[in-house]
Structure 1
C-alpha cells in the first residue's frame, strides 16, 4: 500500500510540474493577446494533468507461456520510510498554514458587520489588513478600520467590486485546493511557484472584470490599488501578495492596455479548452498501463490444404499406401510430405508398417486368448461351487423371500469372489503380456473396441442369466481393457496402469 502511494505521489508531482511549466511558458503570450481572464483559465491545465493520475489507466494484455513449475517472485521493495517522510512533511505544512491563518484572524480583531456596504462585508478593528476575502466555506469581505478615511466613495465602490469579482469566480475555493496541493506536495518547488503565479493571474483577472464594467475609471482604480498594496496577504482567502513589487508594476501596466474583444475572448477560451483536453490526454497516456497476463494456447501442427493425411488405422488394416504420391505423414510432431522422403526412409517406413501389422495380429490373438481365459475362469468358479443357472435363481428367490441378513450374503459373495480372483490371477499374467505388446503398437483402438463389445455382450448375457459372480468378473476384465485403452491414448507411452479386481461385496 505504501509503495502504491509513493508511486502515485511521484506521478502526481511530475504531472503538476509539467503543467506548471507549460502555463508559465504560455501565460504572458495568452494575456497579451486574449486578456487576463483567459490567462487565468490556463491554470486548468495542471489541474487536469493531476486528475489524470487518478483516472483508470489503459489495459494491456500480455501473452505468456504456461508456467512449467513454481514461480519465484522477487520480494517487493519496502518504501515505508519515504511514506513516513512525506506524511511528516505534509503534517508540518498543514500545521504552519493553520498557525498563520490563526494569527491573521487574531490580528484582524473583532469583525463587525457592515450592512451599509452590502452583503457579506465585515469591518476589522485593525488597519493593517484588507480589503481581502477571508474564509472558504462562508467567505466574507473584510475591510480595514480606516476604510472610509483611506478611500473615497468611488474608490470604495471599485475595491468592493474587485472583492466581489473574487467571490463570483469562486476564488476562495480555488485557493483552498491550491493550498491543499501545496501541503501534500510540499517537496515540489514547481507547485509553490505555480501557486504564487496563480494568485497574480487571479488578481489580474479580477482587475479585468472590474474594468469591463467601469472602463473610464482606470486612474481611480490604480490609485485605490496603491493604497491597498502594502497590506499583508491573507493565508486562506484572496488578497494581492504584499511583497511582490515586480508583479504589482505589471498589474499597473495592465491597466493601460485595452481589453480584448469578444472574438478574442471566444478564440482564447476555445484554445485553452483544447489545450487542457490535449494535456489531459497526454497525461493519461503517460500513466503506466495495467497488465493482464493470459496463457498462450499450445500450437497444433497444421496440415497443408487439399492434402489427405495418412490414416494409421487404414495402414494397419492392410491398406497399401502409395509412398510416391501426395500423402502427408506426421513424424515426430512434424508434417512431412511423402514426396520429400528418401528411398531409404520410404523403405524403413514400409517395413515399420509391416511390423506394426504383425504386432496387431499378435495382439488380437493374445486378446482372444485372454477373453477365453476369462470365460474359463468364470466356468471354473461356477463349476467349483456347483452353481447352475437354476441354483442362482433359487438363491436370489430365497434371499428375496427370507431376507437373509447382510452378513450372510456378504459371506457367500466373499467365497465366490475368492475363487474368481484366484482364476483371474492367471488371466492377469496373460493380460500383462498383451498390454506390453499393445503399448508398442501405433494404433490398437479397433482391437480394444472389439474386446469391449465382446465383454459387454457377455456381461449382458450373464445379467440375463442372473449370474452375479460372472458379471462381476467380466466387469473387472472390462475395467482392465478400458485401463489399457486409456494407457494407449496417453502422451507418455511409458505410463503404467495397474488394474485390480476389486468388487464391493456390501452391495
Structure 2
C-alpha cells in the first residue's frame, strides 16, 4: 500500500496542480459543469495501475552468486522493514483520525434526522425534515436520501424559492453527487498527508455546488434566476457557521461569503455543455498525466529489482561430487504484490544441471510491492564451488563483433 501511494505522488501532484491552476480559467470560459466533470480525471489516474493493459517496465539482468553471505542482506532488510513499519504506523494514524472524524459527523447527522420534524414538500418524492440544528438545506443518505431543512425554511423562503432550493438538493441526488463524494472521501483518506489533496477536495466540493446551480437553472427564466439569487443570499451563513461548515466532510454546504459571491456571478453567465468536447478534454488531460507517470513506474520497477526475500538454490549433490560449476539465466514476471511467476530458463551452462533447483528457488523469491509489477525480469545465478573473494576484481570478457 505504501509503495503504491508513493509511486502515485508525482503523477497525482501534477494532475491536481493542473486542475487547480486551470480552475479559474475553466470556470470563466467553459462553466462550472465543465470544471466539475474534470475532477473525474483524479480517480481515473489512480485506477490506471489496476488496468490489465498498462505498460510495465522490463528489468535488466541481475547477477547473483549462489554461495553468498546472507548476513548483510538480512541487516539491509531489517532496516528497510523498520522504516516501512514507521511510515505505515504514521499513515494508519492519519487514516484512523479521519475515520473517527467522519464517524462522529455521521452520528451527528443521524441524531439530527432522528430529532427533526417531518415536512411534506410539494414536487419532490424525497423525505424532507425540518431541523433546528441545521443552518442550510442539504441532502444526505446514499440509499435513502433525506433533505434536512432549517426550521425557518417556510419563513425564510417564498414558494418559488422553496421549489428551487428543493430542486437543487434533488439534483445532487439524481446526479450521483453523494456517491461521488464517498469516492472523494476515500481518496482523501488515502492521501491525507498530501497538502494538495485537501485543497483539491475543497475545490471539488465547491465546483459541485456551482455545477448543481448551473444544472438547476439550465432552462430557467430570468425571474427564476433572480429568485434563486435571493435564496442564496438569504441562506448566507455567518462567519462562525461558515467556519464550522467547512469541516463537514459528509455534507454539502452553501459556502462562505467568497464562494457565495462566486455563485451569484456564475448565475449571470451560463455556458453550454458538450459531452463530446468534455470527453476529448478528459482524454487529453489524463493521457498527458499518464504519459508523465510512466517514468515513475519504470523507476519504481528498477528500484524493486532487489528481492526482499531470496531463497538460495540447493547445490545439486551430483554437481558437488563432480565439482561442476556453471550458471543459469532465468526470466520471470514480478506481480504487483512482489511474487514471482512464469519462471523460464533462457540459458543453462552446463545444460539442465542446475535448472530444476534454480526454478524451485526462484518461484519462492519475493520482491518489494510495486504499482504495476514487472514483465520479463531476468536474473543470472552463478553456481560456484568456492565463493569469489570480495577483494578480487571480476572482469567480464565477451567476444568482439
Aligned counterpart, 2:60:
62
Aligned counterpart, 2:229:
222
C-alpha displacement at 1:227, in angstroms?
1.7
CA contact (8 A) 2:36 2:207 kept: yes
For the residues of structure 1 that align with 2:236 and 2:152, how far apart are their CA atoms?
15
5+ residue gaps, structure 1, are 300-332, 336-507
More helix as a share of residues: 1
Query: Which structure 2 residues correspond to residues 98-117 of structure 1 after superposition, within 5 A?
Result: 98-107=103-112, 109-112=115-118, 114=120, 116-117=122-123
Residues 1:83 and 2:83 aligned together: no
3-state SS of the aligned residue for 1:47?
Answer: helix
CA contact (8 A) 2:35 2:207 kept: yes
More strand as a share of residues: 2
For the residues of structure 2 that align with 1:8 and 1:248, how far apart are their CA atoms?
38
**Which structure has the larger Rg?**
1
Q: Equivalent of 1:238, from 252, 262, 285?
A: 252
Query: Which structure 2 residues correspond to residues 113-128 of structure 1 after superposition, within 5 A?
Result: 114=120, 116-126=122-132, 128=134
For the residues of structure 1 that align with 2:90 and 2:10, how far apart are their CA atoms?
19
Aligned counterpart, 2:144:
138
For the residues of structure 2 that align with 1:271 and 1:34, how far apart are their CA atoms?
12
C-alpha displacement at 1:106, in angstroms?
2.8
C-alpha displacement at 1:104, in angstroms?
4.1
CA contact (8 A) 1:158 1:221 kept: yes
For the residues of structure 2 that align with 1:156 and 1:334, how far apart are their CA atoms?
86
Q: Equivalent of 2:277, from 267, 270, 277?
A: 267
C-alpha displacement at 1:153, in angstroms?
1.0
Q: 1:32 to 1:10 in 2, by over 3 A?
A: same
Q: Equivalent of 1:190, from 196, 219, 223?
A: 196
Q: 1:68 to 1:172 in 2, by over 3 A?
A: closer
C-alpha displacement at 1:114, in angstroms?
2.3
1:67-126 CA distance string (max 9 Å, x none):
474375733211212111211221111102221332344345335252535211311231
For the residues of structure 2 that align with 1:187 and 1:334, how far apart are their CA atoms?
53
1:353-393 CA distance string (max 9 Å, x none):
xxxxxxxxxxxxxxxxxxxxxxxxxxxxxxxxxxxxxxxxx
3-state SS of the aligned residue for 2:8?
Answer: helix
Query: Which structure 2 residues correspond to residues 168-207 of structure 1 after superposition, within 5 A?
Result: 168-207=174-213
Structure number with the bigger relative contact order (C-alpha 8 A, sep ≥ 6) is 2
For the residues of structure 1 that align with 2:267 and 2:275, how far apart are their CA atoms?
17
Q: TM-score, normalised by structure 2?
A: 0.65
1:445-474 CA distance string (max 9 Å, x none):
xxxxxxxxxxxxxxxxxxxxxxxxxxxxxx
Query: What RMSD, in angstroms, separates the aligned Cα atoms of the two structures?
Result: 3.1
C-alpha displacement at 1:285, in angstroms?
5.2
For the residues of structure 1 that align with 2:221 and 2:276, how far apart are their CA atoms?
20
CA contact (8 A) 1:133 1:141 kept: yes
Aligned counterpart, 1:252:
264
For the residues of structure 1 that align with 2:59 and 2:86, how far apart are their CA atoms?
33
For the residues of structure 1 that align with 2:48 and 2:138, how far apart are their CA atoms?
33
CA contact (8 A) 1:19 1:46 kept: yes
Q: Equivalent of 1:41, from 37, 62, 87?
A: 37
Q: 1:132 to 1:12 in 2, by over 3 A?
A: same
